[in-house]
Structure formats: C-alpha cells, structure tokens
C-alpha cells in the first residue's frame, strides 16, 4: 500500500498507474489533489498527470 498520510480518496478519479505512490489497490487516486498538465494538448494522449510520484521501492 502506498505511503498515505490520510486515507481520503479522490472519488471519481481512477488511476491504473501502479508505479505511482498515490495509486490504491482499488485503482483510485489517493493524492490530496491532482494536477493534469499540457497547456497545448488537443488529444487525451498529450496530457499527463503532474501529480505522479514514483512508488518507493519495496512497497
């Protein structure tokens, strides 16, 4: 389980990036907030989650 400081989930925000420390076993995001970046994006594939942080090794 990721290193969470609280157990609040961002309801409605799914996440399947298991290498992110905010990813929960239920495929939900457990970050306090999220930031999606790419100001010139015109397609979904051109955006990315700036909140992503690698999961510490061994978790």
What predicted TM-score, i.e. pTM, was given to this entire model? 0.70
Distance between CA atoms of residues 56 and 48, nearest Å: 20
Contact partners, residue 56, CB within 8 Å, separation at least 6: 3, 21
Instruction: Give the pLDDT confidence of 1-59 residue by residue, as tens digits.
Output: 444 445 567 778 889 999 999 998 889 888 888 999 999 999 999 999 999 999 988 76
Instruction: Give the pLDDT confidence of 34-47 residue by residue, as tens digits.
Output: 999 999 999 999 99
Q: Give me 6's structure tokens.
A: 């609280």
Contact 15, 2 (CB under 8 A): no
């Amino acid at each position: 389980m990721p290193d969470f400081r609280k157990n609040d989930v961002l309801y409605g925000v799914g996440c399947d990036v298991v290498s992110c420390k905010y990813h929960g076993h239920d495929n939900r995001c457990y970050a306090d907030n999220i930031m999606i970046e790419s100001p010139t994006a015109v397609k979904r594939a051109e955006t990315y989650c700036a909140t992503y942080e690698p999961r510490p090794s061994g978790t």
